[in-house]
């Protein structure tokens, strides 16, 4: 699996590298001329139709190239020592740090995506294309910090760290963390399908955060039940 992960990473980098040599528009001068001539109440609709008409595959190739690259890098991290050796975070403090890291990367990369779309001229110059989304950043950061903090309640009581992820069983499992782990996995898959590379790494960090809590609680419960059975 590790070799496959390296191959996937290289393929992604090749696709992304190739996209760098492509022009964004089939005829940029002609596009800009028609762009400046747009008028009327439906000018935004006209802009998007015009842009779609002249766009090349540069941006989709870049997006999917980076998506494939990040998938490969994550796979390298997961399978570096083999699947059986891939474990949850090794301390409660690191789990807290993981939640903070997931929050910060989600917020920062959301902002980076906004500026990337602005650089790609994804919206017409007359639209307030970035101001309104940027206003949502502070509430997003606060919400994610609160969300991560609430989920840290799972660290209370019996808990084990450094649990092999392959040990996941549907026994003594916490269904809250199971459900949000499944939902997060679905969201990651949808982002991969859409080529939305910005949120793949944050998505994996959140998933690793939830699974670390899930397995930490489960492993502790299983150990306690086995002790009780033996007594």
Domain ranges (residues) in the chain: 89-231
Q: What pLDDT was estimated at residue 194? A: 96
Cα 60 to Cα 3: distance, rounded to the nearest angstrom:
26
* Residues in CB range of 210: below 8 A, 6 or more apart: 151, 177, 180, 181, 184
Q: What pLDDT was estimated at residue 3? A: 87
Q: What pLDDT was estimated at residue 167? A: 87
pLDDT tens digit sequence for 22-58: 999 999 999 999 999 888 888 889 999 999 999 999 9
pLDDT at 229 over 80: no
pLDDT at 222 over 90: no
Cα 114 to Cα 112: distance, rounded to the nearest angstrom:
5
Cα 52 to Cα 45: distance, rounded to the nearest angstrom:
11
Q: What pLDDT was estimated at residue 65? A: 97
Average pLDDT over residues 100-112: 97
Tell me the sheet residues that pair with 164.
87
CB count, 10 Å around CB of 102?
A: 23
Q: What is the pTM of this model?
A: 0.90
- 82 Rama class: left (phi>0) / alpha (psi -120 to 50) / beta: left
Residues 210 and 181 sit within 8 Å (Cβ to Cβ): yes
pLDDT at 118 over 70: yes
CB count, 10 Å around CB of 138?
A: 10
Average pLDDT over residues 124-151: 89
Cα 77 to Cα 74: distance, rounded to the nearest angstrom:
5
Q: What pLDDT was estimated at residue 228? A: 56
CB count, 10 Å around CB of 186?
A: 10
pLDDT tens digit sequence for 147-181: 999 999 999 888 999 999 998 888 788 999 999 99
3-state secondary structure of 80: coil
HSE-up (13 A, CA, CB side) for residue 79: 12
Cα 31 to Cα 29: distance, rounded to the nearest angstrom:
5
pLDDT at 128 over 70: no
Q: What pLDDT was estimated at residue 227? A: 59
Cα 201 to Cα 205: distance, rounded to the nearest angstrom:
6
pLDDT tens digit sequence for 71-98: 999 999 998 888 888 999 999 999 999 9
Residues 172 and 218 sit within 8 Å (Cβ to Cβ): yes
Q: For residue 211, what is the enclosing H or E element?
A: helix 200-230
Q: What pLDDT was estimated at residue 42? A: 85
Cα 128 to Cα 112: distance, rounded to the nearest angstrom:
17
Joined tokens for residue 79: 């399978």
Q: What pLDDT was estimated at residue 124? A: 86
């Amino acid at each position: 699996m590790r070799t496959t992960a390296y191959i996937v990473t290289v393929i992604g980098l090749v696709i992304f590298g190739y996209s760098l040599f492509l022009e964004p528009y089939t005829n940029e001068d002609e596009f800009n001329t028609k762009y400046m001539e747009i008028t009327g109440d439906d000018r935004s609709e006209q802009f998007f139709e015009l842009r779609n008409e002249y766009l090349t595959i540069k941006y989709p190739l870049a997006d999917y190239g980076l998506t494939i690259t990040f998938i490969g890098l994550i796979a390298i991290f997961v399978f570096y020592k083999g699947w059986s050796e891939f474990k949850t975070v090794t301390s409660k403090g690191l789990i807290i740090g993981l939640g903070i890291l997931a929050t910060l990367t989600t917020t920062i990369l959301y902002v980076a995506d906004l500026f990337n779309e602005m650089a790609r001229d994804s919206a017409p110059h007359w639209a307030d294309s970035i101001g309104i989304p940027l206003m949502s950043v502070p509430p997003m950061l606060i919400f994610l910090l609160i969300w991560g903090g609430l989920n840290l309640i799972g660290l209370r009581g019996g808990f084990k760290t450094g649990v092999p992820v392959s040990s996941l069983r549907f026994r003594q499992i916490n269904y809250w963390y199971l459900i949000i782990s499944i939902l997060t996995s679905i969201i990651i898959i949808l982002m991969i399908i859409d080529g939305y590379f910005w949120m793949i790494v944050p998505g994996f960090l959140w998933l690793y955060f939830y699974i670390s809590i899930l397995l930490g609680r489960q492993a502790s419960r299983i150990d306690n039940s086995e002790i009780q059975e033996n007594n």
